[in-house]
Amino acid sequence: MRLLDVAPSQRNDPRARLYIVDHVAPGEAIKRRIEVVNTTSAVAHVALYPAAAAISDGVFSVADGHTPNDLSTWTSVTPGAIDVPAGGRVTAAVTVRVPLDAAPGEQYGAVWAEVSSAPTSPDGVIQINRVGVRMYVSAGPGGAPAADFTIDSLTAKRLPDGRPVVEAAVHNTGGRALDMSGTLQLVDEAGGLNAGPYPAKLGVTLAVAATEPVTIVLDEKLPAGPWDAAITLRSGLIERTVRAVVTFPTLGAAKPVLPTTSDPRSLAPIVVALVGLLLSLVAGAALLRWRFRRGIEV
């Protein structure tokens, strides 16, 4: 099962190509199309329905069965059941209609495609298989809440099997949940060695205001360091890069290291302040020069 539509305002956002991610004002609705593909050699009877989900401890967790929440009650799937021919594909429509009295904030859920086996006896076991598309839908007046995050510290660790690990503490400072990805690059300036880029472990989802670890597992043969570590993390269109010097311990974890930013966007306020100060000095010097010349003329 896959999502077919992306909102025009989110065409460049890779998350919106995978999940239903949008902001809806109370009283309004959004629509998406999904495609269900049958890769088996028999007709599949597929049930389509929305259900609840939540984010806890860095994990996007789906609820059992048809468990409802606010978002699932706002969501309908048409048709609710379809027969997909062997090797075929069928399209269905998902509509999210937010009521006028909806509380502001982001809601989570999933749209499921479910196939059930027939029981072998009246009290037999039914096997259920389902695949789904995540939903991140915020409700409220005005535009969508801004998404943002900070990388607060880097910690070098050693796993019990000997592999070194860098753990980044990431804090969600915005108003939307985040799905983290990224890479780590290591440079040993003393020895001239380079290592990486190493991919971050996928699957970390940050709830609003949460701080969770994003882990990068490295090669067991990597020297202990010290290393100049540059980590770049992203969620959708938001990307942050920080640097820190890390040394991998023999066992356990080293002390967390406060990183320095490598993101030029974070320097913008400083640059603006310096430019403003320079302009003020130039204007002051010009004014003094004008007054001096006026004094000579008098």
* pLDDT per residue as tens digits for the range 220-255: 889 988 999 999 999 999 999 999 999 999 999 999
Sequence ranges of the domains in the chain: 2-139, 149-263
- pLDDT band, very low/low/confident/very high, at 270 (cuts 50, 70, 90): very low
Question: How far are the Cα atoms of 155, 169, 194, 225, 273 from residue 188, in angstroms, in the given order?
Answer: 17, 23, 6, 7, 35
SS3 25: coil
The model's pLDDT over 175-229, given as tens digits with 9 standing for 90+, comes to 999 999 999 999 986 767 888 899 999 999 999 999 999 999 999 889 988 999 9
The model's pLDDT over 46-98, given as tens digits with 9 standing for 90+, comes to 999 999 999 999 999 999 999 999 999 999 999 999 999 999 999 999 999 99
pLDDT of residue 61: 95
Q: Who's near 165: CB < 8 A, 6+ residues apart?
A: 156, 157, 158, 159, 215, 216, 217, 218
Q: Who's near 80: CB < 8 A, 6+ residues apart?
A: 47, 48, 49
Q: Give the rounded distance of the alpha carbon of 22 from its chain centre.
A: 14
CATH number of 149-263: 2.60.40.10
The percent of residues in the chain predicted with pLDDT above 90, rounded, is: 74
Identify any residues that bridge with 213 across adjacent strands, giving them in sequence order. 169
SS3 51: strand
**Residues constituting the chain:** 298
pLDDT of residue 268: 40
The model's pLDDT over 114-151, given as tens digits with 9 standing for 90+, comes to 998 877 667 777 788 999 999 999 999 988 899 999 99
CATH architecture of the domain covering 2-139: Sandwich (2.60)
pLDDT of residue 280: 57
Q: Name residue, tokens 């990597």.
A: 222
pLDDT of residue 292: 46
Fold agreement (2-139, 149-263): yes
Distance CA 160, CA 15 (A): 34
Q: With beta carbons less than 8 A apart as the criterion, state whether 134 and 1 touch.
A: no
pLDDT of residue 297: 45
